[in-house]
Structure 1
């Protein structure tokens, strides 16, 4: 490549999940903002898989082509929406996403972009959620670590039902700017991903379940 030719932007895959788009103030705006970005591929899980039958091969191909995977969804009952969890269960398979032979995602990045109905003050030992919001992130972080993904600092908007329009516009602008500037984020320059090796005997090749 010529020295004066800019490097192509890394491919980004946004996995969006919201079971009730008509009721969405924040996730819908972020989802719509991605459509103008030519280096970003977006899948609306609830529109693509209304019967919950996920095309695993297609999803794995999209993940293989991307350098950054964005999980875009609201927090519901302290976790992701049901179809996003099913997507993880079926797509992040042993021997592909993790395990001794599962190297397909190793070295890529994952970014959680989410929102909560409750205000930030609700995520506090004296608030009704009893814990700081970070206490609910370990399942995301460990999923990333198990697959060799680098878990980037999440983008979180609290109080989604009450946020005013100027603050919501600012939030969308930050989201778009981050996608456009990836991977040139100063705070992730020295971030690494811990290694997590899963013994083969913990995942029977017969497909049996615990």
Structure 2
């Protein structure tokens, strides 16, 4: 299994339907996977320890951004993490190659069901179209963008749905 770092960004992890259960499963089943819970670390003041985050990323072969999909994007602290941590001359630019060759995986949940994420659905766009800025970021920083793992319908998920998603996510992390 690749050295994996999960950057978890959920502002209300205690009340989460999916992300909390994924986090617990990682802690129980994959103890070698490192989790950096951004809201636990920096949620009070959003003052990110850039050096600590860059060091953690440099140690990993695979970086996972795990979050609930809010307003067609990630929660604000993950966006700030991206802005602050992925710096010029470290993550991109002439000498910015520290993440080159690493894998980047998005793991996220949507509140709405899959039926809303297509041209005729309420959201008018597919999930793959909506996450394009993350793909562009991956390209800029030289990571291999893995097919995302996501769970649609967190608001209506059954226990069976949740258990299935946990099993599939753990399988993806073991790859």
Q: Normalising by structure 2, what TM-score?
A: 0.96
The structure 2 residue matched to 1:126, chosen from 110, 120, 128, is 120
Q: Which residue of 1 aligns with 2:159?
A: 165
Secondary structure of 2:64's match? Answer: strand
Counterpart residue number, 1:205? none
1:35: how far off? 1.0
Q: State the partner residue of 1:46.
A: 39
Task: Say which one has the larger Rg.
Answer: 1
Deviation, 1:170, is 0.9
Aligned residues: 173
List runs of 5+ in structure 1 lacking aligned partners. Answer: 1-8, 183-210
Q: Distance in 2 between matches of 1:120 and 1:14?
A: 25
Alignment of 1:2-41 (within 5 A): 9-36=1-28, 37-41=30-34
**2:164 is paired with a residue of what secondary structure?**
helix
Higher RCO structure (Cα 8 Å, ≥6 apart): 2
Say whether 1:77 aligns with 2:80. no
> 1:117: Cα distance to partner?
0.7
Give structure 1 regions of 4+ aligned residues with deviation exceeding 4 angstroms.
none
- Which structure shows the bigger proportion of residues in helix conformation? 2
Which of 165, 169, 174 is residue 175 of structure 1 equivalent to? Answer: 169
Q: 1:155 aligns with which of 142, 149, 154?
A: 149
Q: CA–CA distance in 2 between the matches of 1:161 and 1:79?
A: 17
Match of 1:107 in 2: 101
Cα displacement (A) at 1:11: 1.1
RMSD: 1.0
Distance in 2 between residues matched to 1:23 and 1:177, nearest whole Å: 24
CA contact (8 A) 1:10 1:39 kept: no
Larger deviation, residues 113-122 vs 15-24: 15-24
For 1:139 and 1:13, the matched residues in 2 are separated by 21
Normalising by structure 1, report the TM-score.
0.80
Cα separation, 2, equivalents of 1:68 and 1:147: 13
Q: Distance in 1 between matches of 2:49 and 2:4?
A: 19
